[in-house]
Amino acid sequence: MTAASDLDGPVLRAVIDRIIPADDDPGALELGTDGYVLHRMALEPAFAAAVADGLAILRRLAGNEPFETLPPDRRDALLLGIETEPWFARLVEVVAEGFWADPDNGGNRDARSWAIIGYLHGLPEGPSGPPEQARP
Amino acid sequence: MKPRYDSIVIGAGAGGGIAAALLAESGRSVLLIDRGPHETYASAGHRDHLRNQRISTYGHNAGPDIDGNPRVAVDAQGAARTVAPHEAGYQNNAAIVGGGTFVYGGQAWRFLPKDFRMASSYGVPAGSSLTDWPFPYEEIAPWYERAEWEVGVAGDSPGSAAIWPRARDYPMPPVPRGPAGAVLQRGAEALGAPTLTPPLLINTLPRAGRAACIECGSCVGFPCPTDAKNGTQNTMVPRALATGGCELVTFATAERITTDGNGRVTGVSILTEADGRVTRHEVAASEVVVSAGAIETARLLLASRSPREPQGLGNAFGEVGRHLQGHSYPGLFGLFDHDVAIDRGPGVTIATTRWNHDNPDVIGGGMLADDFTVLPIIFWKRGLPPGTRRWGKTAKAFMRDNYRRVIQMKGPVHEIPSPDARVTLDPAVTDRLGRPVARLSGLVHPETVRTMRFMHERAIDWMQAAGATEIWGDMPPQPWLSAGQHQAGTCRMGSDPGDSVTDPLGKVWGHDNLWVCDASLHPTNGGFNPVLTVMALAFRNTAHMVAAA
């Protein structure tokens, strides 16, 4: 497997799953935040390349077992070891953007994250406001 | 666009919208231009929590565009870098009809009488350009009242009257107080600090043909779903257009103000953009009003060189662009053991002016208030306690358990201006139109840092007195340049042409027909959000223009 293919594969999702994990409430993967991350990486090739390199290191650290099939606590332990790496800090930031921002950004399906914390937007048309329209 | 108008107003924001209305209502033909578009809620109301005036991770909802609008920011070590509008150091303000008023929270504060005489009250610290305004509060008070009534402010009239001399109540009652207001009220009482509900440029009642606020809580940073928020784009600009004598042209940027051999202003060279094509228009006018914001106004005057004024219009003494200031905000978060969230309304509900003046050992002070409803992603980026692991179960649990139990408090500190904090023209970098860009350099004065630290401690006091179980939020580690949305001071009014850019009415020294009409005029910027002062000055100065003609 090449490093680049990790970007659209199970290793990346296995990392995102631990950045905002499911508990009694849904985590990042259930809200589609991985799609938002892929979108950002498509727009920022340098970020994508750094993440690809980072994921390759994680696969090496996982040894003979595939990172993505490790139990959550073992994945967390490996991520603790690399959490200060710039690529991971930026990935955490991007995952949070997708998960906590408005649903139209693509990472917060049905505004579920807002329901989790009790943010009530009060907009008449729904969480993202009116549909985008052409300028008058 | 016609070849000539009586008046050209450059920039349709808080100041320019009002100037255009009063000039057009006087019977003048007026050209009002703005570099940005004319939007409505329907076209620009889309709620992008990553692209707005509060959090611009990937851009802004009200401009300017990321591409083609660079500035140069010089850091504390003297290193210059080119920055885009959404990047740190740019000091952005909205580029759209209405300017910042299209997307602001609309806090509508008067400055206090003592704010107009800072140098007399405190002396002038070394290295600062602290000064008095060229007139007292009593001079501007009636114009504050006009702004409150004609643009539309909802406020706590008795609470305000206890703090400011004022002749007339606000036209509308204040926004409701929620749980945070009740908690902070108890804390303020324990400290002996009087409070009031912040005045807001928001309709709490149907008014002027528009609806009342529906309390959607999605206020600051975004346009209003019911048009209940009063900016110039839905109040004064429509008044200007209703005369039939004002033409509004969007995507139009002033390239330079033109003068004749005697230095008299003759018009404006304007660049319009449509379908990727730029067209230059030489438009004549009998008078020109510059209201482009403290950075762009200074930039335009500096770029409008002539043989008589080779350093730029009004800049014979090198004053244009200096004293750049804004508001340094102490800000902190307090955790409470119960739900303190307000589900309805703009979110800002309680303020105190107890520490704006008369503090021991510091110059001035500032207002403190709770904040507008905090977007979840802003809470995550700025509101997690230091040391919180930002990934994994902990961060998510903190968000779930505490988003509704945290109050954010902040407030603008009255800055002590420095002549070295300034706007100049960058010698190398140009924008998409080929205009030299604004180069921003200098730092806040050390006295501003001291006052900010003092106010930070007062905010901690207030949170503690209110019963916060945990309080966090730090002072910036390094000195900074302050400007941003409250940018001011770069064309200060004064009584002496040697140390100011305009006379006390905003007329540029040495020019009978050139005015500045925005926060550039503010000699100092108060310990309050400055927009009502921008509006009051616009009413006052334009009324004098009309009366003098």
A122: left (phi over 0), alpha (psi -120 to 50) or beta: left
Average of per-residue pLDDT across B265-281: 97
8 Å CB contact of B391 and A18:
yes
pTM: 0.97
Phi-psi region for residue B13, left (φ > 0), alpha (ψ -120 to 50) or beta? beta
- Choice among A129-133, B261-265, B514-518 with the minimum mean pLDDT: A129-133
Which residues 220-249 in chain B show a CB within 8 A of chain A?
222, 225-226
Nearest CA in chain A to B57: A97
Looking at residue B284, what is its pLDDT?
Answer: 98
> Apex CA B287: angle with CA B281 and CA B291, to 5°?
80
Q: Is the pLDDT of residue A6 over 70?
A: no
Is A100's CB within 8 Å of B49's CB? yes
| Ramachandran area for residue A63 (φ above 0: left; ψ -120 to 50: alpha; else beta) | left
Chain B residues with CB-CB distance to A47 below 8 A = none
Nearest CB to A128: which of B47, B216, B397? B47
If you average pLDDT over every residue of chain B, what do you get?
Answer: 97
Per-residue pLDDT tens over the stretch B21-36: 999 999 999 999 999 9
- Residue A2 pLDDT grade (very low, low, confident, very high; cuts 50, 70, 90): very low
| Rounded mean pLDDT, B265-278 | 96
For the cut 80, the answer to whether the pLDDT of residue A132 exceeds it is no
Alpha-carbon distance values, B482 to A27, B27, B73, B80, B381 (Å):
39, 39, 12, 16, 21
* Averaged pLDDT of chain A: 93
pLDDT in the model for residue B419: 98
Mean pLDDT score, B351-368: 98
Spatial contact of B363 and B447, defined as CB atoms under 8 Å apart: yes
pLDDT in tens, B47-96: 999 999 999 999 999 999 999 999 999 999 999 999 999 999 999 999 99
Mean pLDDT of B261-280: 95
Q: What is the pLDDT of residues B96-134, one digit of tens each?
A: 999 999 999 999 999 999 999 999 999 999 999 999 999
**B288 pairs with which residues across the strands?**
B8, B514
Q: Is the CB of B43 inside 8 Å of chain A's CB atoms?
A: yes
Mean pLDDT, to the nearest integer, of B484-492?
98
- The mean pLDDT value for B361-385 works out to 96
Task: Spell out which residues of chain A touch residue B380, defining contact as CB-CB under 8 Å.
Answer: 96, 100
**Is it the case that residue B283 has pLDDT exceeding 60?**
yes
Three-state DSSP state, A109: helix
